[in-house]
Amino acid sequence: MIIGILKETGTENRVAILPAEVVALKKMGIDVLVEINAGERAFSSDIDYLKAGARTAERKAVINESEMLLSINPPVEDDINSFREGQILCSVLNPSVNHTWLEKARLHGLSVLALDLIPRTTRAQSMDILSSMATVSGYKAVLEAASLLPRFFPMFMSASGTIKPSRVLILGAGVAGLQAIAIARKLGAIVEVFDVRSAVKEEVKSLGGKFIEVEGAKEDIAAGGYAVEQTEDFKNKQQELIQQRSIASDVVIATAQIPGRKAPVLLLKETVYSMKPGSVIIDLAASTGGNCELTENGKNIIVNGVNIIGKSDYPSDMPSDASKMFGCNIINLLKIMVDKDAKLILNMQDDIINGTTAVHGKEYVSQRVKQMLNIK
Is 197 an interacting residue with respect to ligand NAD (CB under 6 A)? yes
What does the per-residue mask of binding to ligand NAD show for 153-172, with x meaning CB under 6 A?
------------------xx
- 198 part of the interface to ligand NAD, by CB under 6 A: no
For the chain, how many helices (H) and strands (E)?
A: 13, 17
Instruction: Compare residues 36 and 241 and give the one whose CB is closer to ligand NAD.
Output: 241
Per-residue x/- mask for ligand NAD, residues 115 to 154, rule CB under 6 A? -----xxx-xx--x-xx--x--------------------
250 is catalytic: no
Site for ligand NAD (CB under 6 A): which residue of 16, 22, 54, 173? 173
- Report which DSSP code applies to 16: S
* Beta carbon of residue 150, minimum distance to ligand NAD (angstroms, whole number): 28
Query: Distance (Å, rounded) from C-alpha 351 to C-alpha 353?
Result: 6
Beta strands at 156-158 and 190-194: parallel, antiparallel or unpaired = unpaired
Of 28-36, 194-202, 338-346, 353-361, the window that binds ligand NAD (rule: CB under 6 A) is 194-202
Smallest distance, ligand NAD to C-beta of residue 270, A:
18
Which entry of 128, 250, 283, 313 is annotated as an active-site residue?
Answer: 128
Rounded CA gap, 195 and 254, in Å? 11
How far apart (Å, rounded) are the C-alpha atoms in residues 62 and 70?
11
Distance CA 140, CA 315 (A): 8
For ligand NAD, which is the closer residue by CB, 39 or 355?
355
Task: Count Cβ atoms below 10 Å from residue 82 Cβ, excluding itself.
Answer: 13
What backbone phi and psi angles, to 5 degrees, belong to 299? -125, 150
In the chain, what's the furthest Cα-to-Cα distance? 72
Point out the catalytic residue in the list 44, 71, 131, 249: 131
Q: Please calculate the CA angle 27-31-32 and round it to the nearest 5 degrees.
A: 105
Nearest to 53 by CA among 2, 88, 92: 2
Interacting positions 69-108 with ligand NAD (CB under 6 A): none
Contact residues toward ligand NAD (CB under 6 A) are 120-122, 124-125, 128, 130-131, 134, 171-177, 194-197, 200, 225-227, 230, 255-259, 264, 266
Give the residue numbers marked as catalytic: 120, 125, 128, 131, 226
